[in-house]
Each structure stands twice: as C-alpha cells, then as structure tokens.
Chain A
Amino acid sequence: MSRQTAVTRRWTPVRRATPIAAAALAAAMLLSSCAATPAAGGNSTEKNGGTLVYLDAELSSNTQLQSSGTWQDSAYIQNIGDRLIFRDPETLELKPWIAESWEISDDGLVYEFSIRDGVTYSDGTDLDAASVKRNLEWQAYGDAEKGIPANNWFPKVESVESDDAEQTVTVTLAAPSAPFLAVLSYWRTALAADATIDASIEKQSQISGFIGSGPFVVESETYGKEIVFTKRDGYAWAPPGVENQGEAYLDEIVVLPVTEDSVRLGSLRSGEADLIRYVQPSEEKTLEDAGLTVVGVQGIGNANVWDVRQSAPFLDDINVRKALQVGIDREQIVDDLYTDNWDAASSIITPGSIGYRDQSEKLAYNPEESNRLLDEAGWTERNADGIREKNGEPLSILTYVDVYDSTAKPLFQLVQWQLKQIGIDLEIKETDYASYVTTLEDPNVGVRRNGWPEADPLRLTVNYHSAYTNSLNLPTPDPKLDALLTDHITAIDPDERAAILGELQDYVVDQAYLLPILNDTQVFAYQPHIRDFEWGAEARPWFYNTWTEKK
C-alpha cells in the first residue's frame, strides 16, 4: 500500500482578543504547528447539545456534486457527506475513512478499497461496496441524460467492480493518477445514497436533495431563509484517530444567508448569531475589541493568482509579463488593505500543498527590474499620463474586478496604482455576478483572478493544460507546460511528483504565466461560547467537533 507523503500544514494563527488568550495561543503554536483551534477542554457530556446559528454571506445555490462550484455549498456538503478517504487537517495525511484500507497496484492502475461495515446513509440505506461502486461510476462518467457532467477531477476510469461478499471495490484506471486518493478525500466526492443519484439534476441541486452519511443531516431548507442541519443520530464512523468517534456535539446548526455585511456584523455583535463568514479587513479589529474571535482560515490548493491571458494585447511578450510579476508590491497590498489574517502568495500553490516550492524571491517587488524589462521590450515612450507607449499604442491591460471576493475592488485599485508607477495602465472594469464569467471570455481581457483552496494541485492541470480549459489562452500550446501539467498527475511516487510540481512552479513563475497575489483566506468571526471551531484541509468549516457552552 502506498501513501502520500505527509506535509506540514500552513495555517493562519487564531487571533484572540485578550493577552492571556494570545499567550495561550503562542504556547499552542509552539506545541503544534497545525492545530486548528486551541484546545478548549470539556468532556463529551458538557459538549453535547445546543444550536449554532451561522450567518453565511451567500446562499446555497447548487449542491449537485459534479457541477457545483460555490464555496458555501462545498462547506455544507463537507458536513453532511463522508468520503472514502480522510485528509487529516493537522498532518495533511490521507487516512482511511469509509475505505478502511486500500491497496494500489505497482503500476498505479488498480485501486482496491475495503469498505467499512455498518455505515448507513441518513435515509437508512446501506453505504456498502455496491453503493461505493455506484458513486464512483457516477463521478467518473456523469449522467448525461440528466445533464450531469463527469467529475472533472476524476482520472479516466476503465472499470469499477465491487465484491459484495468481501465488501471491496476495485477501480481500474486508464493511466496512473497520483491525485486520485486526494480527489477521493475532497468534498466533491462525498458519497451519496441511491435516492440522490437517482434524482433529477434539479433535485440534486438543492441541498435537501443530498442524502449522505455524514455527522449532520439536512432537517429542512427554506430557500433564501434558512437551512437547518441536525446531528445524525447514531453516527459512529468518524475517521479513525479523530477524538470524537460518536455523534456530533451540536444538536443543530441553523444556517441563515445574510448577504448584507452590516446586518451580519450587527447580528453577531448583538448576540443573535454565533458565527459569521466574510468579514471585511477593516471590521476585524472592531469585532475583536468587542470580545469576538476572528480567524482567517487558509487551506491547501491554489493561491489567489491572476491568470495572464496571452490572447490579450501585449501579454504574449514575456518581458511585459515579467514586468507585471515584479511590478506588483504584494507586501504593500497586505499591509495597506488587509490584516495579519492574510498574507502574500509565495507561489502559485499555497504552502502545505504537495510539492510547494517558495517563489518569494522571484516575486519580490522590484520596480527597477520592471522598468528595465519594459525598456528592453521597446516600451520607451510615455504619454501625458505617464503610461508607456510603443508605436503610438499605450501599454494598457484590461481586467474586471473579481466578483467572488468581497475585498477585490481596493486590491485591484492598489495594483492599478502600483503598475502605473512603472508605466502600465491597468484598465479596471466592473461587471455583475451573472455576466462575469461570460464577460471574461473576451480574449482582450488580460488578467483574471483565479485560485482557491482545493484538495490537490490537480486544479492547475484542469485550468491551464491546453487540452483542458486552457485558461491562459496561449496562442499555441506550450509543450513544456503541458508536459509538466501531465507528468505530475502520472507520477505516483510522491517524491517524484513533488519534484515535478516544484519544476512546474519554477517554470510558471519564470514565464510569468500567472501572477500570484495572495493566499486565499476565509475570515470567520464567532462568539466566545463557541468552542473547537475547526475546518478541513481545504479551509471549509468542519462542525463535527464544534460545541457550544450556551445550551
């Protein structure tokens, strides 16, 4: 049996309001570099019971596993669906869960999973080998009749067989896939009951249509008003090694979508809510001063980057791209616009991701180098606004403010100001949420924000390989880039894969194909009576161990 190498988790310190708590935190950091929250104590009897009122900034829109992409839906699924594999959020190791063990053939093509006994879905049906087989086929092939695509993270699957007597499932791949186990640990591969798989895409798109085996179940949902999750009675199949092996502590989680920032903050401060997501950096200190805990959650996966799209004018010139790369002062962005909960990206993937290689030196702010590169590229003239020109054309690059990030606008404006210092005009436009994706298909859009915490750097391949979605809009495929993006997938030896990923990061940064900006951070604020608020490796909340002192 092979296992992925454990890597140290990069995490953002939990910031507490009091000096005593800060000292305790420092001690906890010394003891463990990867604890999710400080140990809160309490035995299971005092932990049991209570309701957590969670105000999310967005409402559930689509929980269909293969086609969903919204952050909030992924967070809900994570708490109601179990996966075959467990990614330990502390060590980042891949561990058994519903698959109590597995074996991989030497050629990396055949995976045999032994399925845990006694697991059931919340509708009472068995989560057995046959169900796992059906789930894997559903993920691998989709369900075209219902408009459900295949999971684009899945490798090409030749066959899935189950042995009902032995309770094993054997998956045969067409080619080795190093990320396969990580993919099976991700929320998108949460195991679903037959009732869900049999349902229409419309029913699957609603969270009440997802029937899983997780520690919480959907009790009710009223569109736009609330989702009520209750703990799953009799839940007894937590990943081995997790302290709690029984039911979740909270009786109930009530999720209310409150899109208005000030209402979320006011409701938290007045005590009506226990936990909120999305806090503007400028509000963090106010909340801390009010005795609330503010925490910035980061996970493994892709950093927030700007895709540099070579279909746009001037960006097929590597000197222009590299001038952008070192013309952005990431430290100033963090210092001026954000807080200690945020930090600058140091590569195209986040620290802790497999194969992470620090690129900070290459990304260091160096306007002199930017100017040299642009002069070398022939952008020597300047117009009245100080923007460089060549053959009468100003060096102007079009972008749109990212609609998925509530802090994006000032960030874009600051980068615009920074680039103007080296004579580049970043033309910022805005569009609405609905039109954003389509608008950014315009080949003249030069840079586009991308990158979120995910289970594996496989996302790099999905996004940037010319045969997948080619988000860089390269005029002709770059064979070296494509080879690296392919090779890290088939390299089943973790060390070999890490080396390829390291080379991939070097190459992408050297070519300035992507502009790393920040490490993605989700900021939560919660009441002091909420204890053990934790999250998974990909920064989604994991309420299984969370409890409240307020019953």
Chain B
Amino acid sequence: MTSLPFVLRRLGHSLLVIALTYVFVYAVLFFLPGDPVASRINNPQNPIPADQAGAILEYYNLDKASIEQFWISVTRLFSGDLGYSLATGRPVADLIQQGLGDTVALAAVALLFTIVLALGVALGAVFAPFAPLRKLFAVLPVLALSTPGFLIGLLLLQVFAYQLGWFSSIRDEGVKSLLLPAITLAVGVNAPIAQVLIQGLRKAYGEPFVTVLRAQGVPEYRIITGHVIKNGSIPAVTLLGLTIGDLLAGSVIAEAIFSRAGLGFVTEQAVRAQDGPVVQAIVMIVAIVFTLVNLVTDLVYPLIDPRIRTAPKPVAVTVAPTQKAAVS
C-alpha cells in the first residue's frame, strides 16, 4: 500500500524540483543575451536614444542588480503575481489561462487518439490473424516516428481543409477545430507507446498464466482484454505519463500550423522574444504538471498490478540499456 510518508516525501522532492527549476530558468534567461526591452530600445526600426532608454529600464527594474531583480520576481510570485509579458504587455496569468485552456483541450483529445491508436496498432501487431498484417501494424509506429509532425499537419490541412473544405484552416470552429491538430499530435506521440505496448503484449501473451487461463477454458478474447492487456500495458502506462511532455512540446508545432493560440503557441512566442516572465511561468507550469503526473503514475501502478501493492518493500529495478532505448 502506498504510504503517507512516501507521498509526503515525493511531494517534498517535487517542491524542491520546482524551486530549483525556477532558479535555473531565471538564471538562464538572465544570462542569455537579449530580451524584449533590450530589443525595444535597440530596435533598428525605432532605436531609442540612451537618455530615453533610462526611463524604460527603470520602469522594468532592469537597472537594478541581478539579485535584486530575482528577489522582486520571487516576492511577486509568492504574492500570486506572475507579472506582465515584457513583449506584449499582457498579464502573464491571462496568457497562461487562455493558452492552457486551449492546450489542455487539444492535449486531452490528442491523448484519447493516442491511446486508441497505440492500442489499435499494438493489438494489430500482436494478435492480427496473418503474419504479414502483424508486420504491417508493427511497422506503423516506425513510420509515424520518422514522419515530421508539421508534415502530417500540412497534409491534413491540404486534404481536409483546402481540398475537401471540411475544416477551416484558420478559424476557430470549436470542438471540430480540435480534430486535425489532435490527430497531428497523436500520430507522433503514440508511436513509442505503441512500440512499448507491442513488446508488453507480446511478453504477457507468452506468460504461463495465459496457458493456464486457456486450460481453464477462458475464451481467447477474454484472455486478451481481461488479462493480457492489463499485464502488458504497465510500461506503456509509464510512458503515457511522460507523454504529457511530448504533447506540450508537440503542441508548439501543431498550434503554429493550425493557428491555435494555445500554450504551445504562447511558449513559442515567448521563447522567440525571450519574454522572461512568460517563459518562467510556463516552465513552472510544465514542471508542476510533470511532477504531478509522475506522482500520479507512481500511485497508479499498484492499482494496475497488485504485485506492486503486495510487495514487502520497494525494490530497485535496473533497466537494461536496450529497454531504456525502447522507451526513450
């Protein structure tokens, strides 16, 4: 059983990770050359002379020492103020709120497609009646992995928006607008999950308990749906947790192609402009989401596999290099 001290310890680790992430990102952004205010002052299209630039630097506290700027940033954070985007003047909280809503909706649909696609491909690759068909299914993840996401997006737009006219390439049509970008995201993201799931299902299907179940007269479909999938999906579930990061990263491309102003788009714009407060906030959100997902994944294991729940104590498991390669 997952114990409270274990959960608290994991939470403590998570907070430390988040705090260190904040410091690290702040330092990186501080030491990298360029920021929106410097760009504004030295913009060749509208250079601002030094005597006028002073007022701008003072307003943004950029005339202060680095440690002082950091302290201002931290105290603002603890008062719940994420500040303003230096590039656009918009409250960071508003940008995050707008972007997060769009991206969560996109990621949720993409995750659903990912699960369906990965499961479908894996089942096909392991249980399809003919060997060539199984091989074909097994090749699909490799094909998906080696196809750039932007190409899939542009192809989908070409066929379904420009040629057939079923979707708008530029306007927000509500839920309908989620489908093409979600497919774009899911095709790329599901491939490693499908590969791991194929391995897991093959391994589970060869386990002695399957023979026992067959001997007990359990129908084959019940063996697969009720036992093999459950046993063979644990590594894939771990990977599914990590997929959240892939979905967020992939959303940068998908949102650019499908003109969606989600968190990926906000991230791309903020990174492009080195918009410190926005980048900082987004990294923090991603760090928090990752930490929570990892925590939840750890807590979900025992629910899927009772052996983990009944183990006398945690056992360190060394992952072989080949397995690492398969899940990375």
Contacts and interface: CB of A to CB of B under 8 A. Distances in A.
Q: Do A and B come from one complex?
A: yes
Interface stretch (A38-46, A58-66, A104-112, A332-340): A58-66
A224 B261 contact: yes
B88 A61 contact: yes
A147 interface: yes
A391 interface: no
Interface string B233-270: 00000000000000000000000110111000110010
A68 B165 CA distance: 38
A209 B88 CA distance: 12
A144 interface: yes
Given A142-B52, A223-B95, A471 B33 contact: no
A61 B269 CA distance: 10
B272 A434 contact: yes
Nearest to A144: B55
A260 B33 contact: no
Contacts of B256: 259-260
Contact of B49 (A64, A435, A469): A469
B35 interface: yes
Contacts of B43: 69, 437
Nearest to B265: A224
A116 to B, nearest CB: 29
Interface string A458-482: 0000110000110100000000000
A521 interface: no
B165 A270 contact: yes
Interface string B73-92: 00000000000100111110
Given A69-B45, A152-B49, A225-B172, A59 B87 contact: no
Interface string B140-179: 0000000000000010011001100100111110000000
A257 interface: yes
Interface residues of B, number: 55
Contacts of A59: 269
A56 B49 CA distance: 30
Interface string A272-296: 1100000000000000000000000
Given A147-B56, A147-B60, A202-B90, A435 B172 contact: no
A188 to B, nearest CB: 8
B39 A434 contact: yes
A179 to B, nearest CB: 15
Contact of A223 (B36, B52, B56, B88): B88
A146 interface: yes
Contact of B35 (A61, A404, A434, A469): A434
Interface in B53-108: 53, 55-56, 58-60, 84, 87-91, 94-95, 98
Q: How large is the interface on A (under 10, 10 to 19, 20 to 34, 35 or more residues)?
A: 35 or more
B261 A223 contact: yes
Interface in B21-47: 32-36, 38-40, 42-47
Nearest to A448: B44
Interface string B169-207: 111100000000000000000000000000000000000
Nearest to A71: B45
Contacts of A152: 46-49, 52
A438 B89 contact: no
A528 interface: no
Nearest to A465: B49
B34 A434 contact: yes
Contacts of A71: 45
B89 A68 contact: no
B88 A258 contact: no
Interface stretch (A261-269, A363-371, A375-383, A483-491): A261-269
Given A404-B45, A434-B271, A452-B45, A269 B90 contact: no
Given A202-B89, A270-B169, A262 B154 contact: yes
Given A62-B88, A224-B269, A272 B168 contact: yes
Given A272-B170, A437-B38, A260 B90 contact: no
Interface string A50-81: 00010100011110100111110000000000
A535 B27 CA distance: 45
A53 B169 CA distance: 13
B89 A205 contact: yes
B178 to A, nearest CB: 14
Given A272-B169, A434-B273, A263 B88 contact: no
Contact of B56 (A67, A70, A257, A259): A67
Interface string A214-245: 00000000111100000000000000000000
Pick from B43, B53, B165, B257 the residue with the most CB of A within 10 Å. B43
Given A223-B261, A273-B170, A471 B269 contact: no
B215 to A, nearest CB: 58
Contacts of A146: 59
B114 interface: no
B274 interface: yes
B59 A147 contact: yes
B274 A435 contact: yes
Contacts of B59: 144-147, 201
B46 A256 contact: no
Contact of B89 (A201, A434, A441, A468): A201
Contacts of B171: 256, 272
Interface in A117-175: 142, 144-150, 152
A206 interface: yes
A314 interface: no
Given A62-B40, A147-B59, A437 B49 contact: no
A71 B46 CA distance: 11
A463 B269 CA distance: 28
A449 B56 CA distance: 25
A263 B259 contact: yes
A69 B88 contact: no
Given A272-B168, A439-B33, A147 B157 contact: no
B8 to A, nearest CB: 39
A436 to B, nearest CB: 7
A35 B202 CA distance: 73
A256 B90 contact: no
A420 to B, nearest CB: 26
A432 interface: yes
Pick from B44, B88, B260 the residue with the most CB of A within 10 Å. B44
26 contacts: A61-B87, A62-B87, A67-B48, A69-B43, A69-B45, A71-B45, A149-B48, A149-B52, A200-B89, A201-B59, A203-B89, A204-B89, A205-B88, A205-B90, A209-B89, A224-B269, A225-B172, A263-B259, A270-B161, A270-B162, A270-B169, A434-B39, A438-B35, A468-B47, A471-B44, A471-B47
Given A225-B172, A257-B259, A436-B39, 7 more contacts: A61-B273, A67-B46, A205-B88, A223-B90, A266-B162, A272-B161, A273-B170
Top 4 nearest A-B pairs (CB, nearest first) are A147-B59, A205-B89, A224-B261, A69-B46
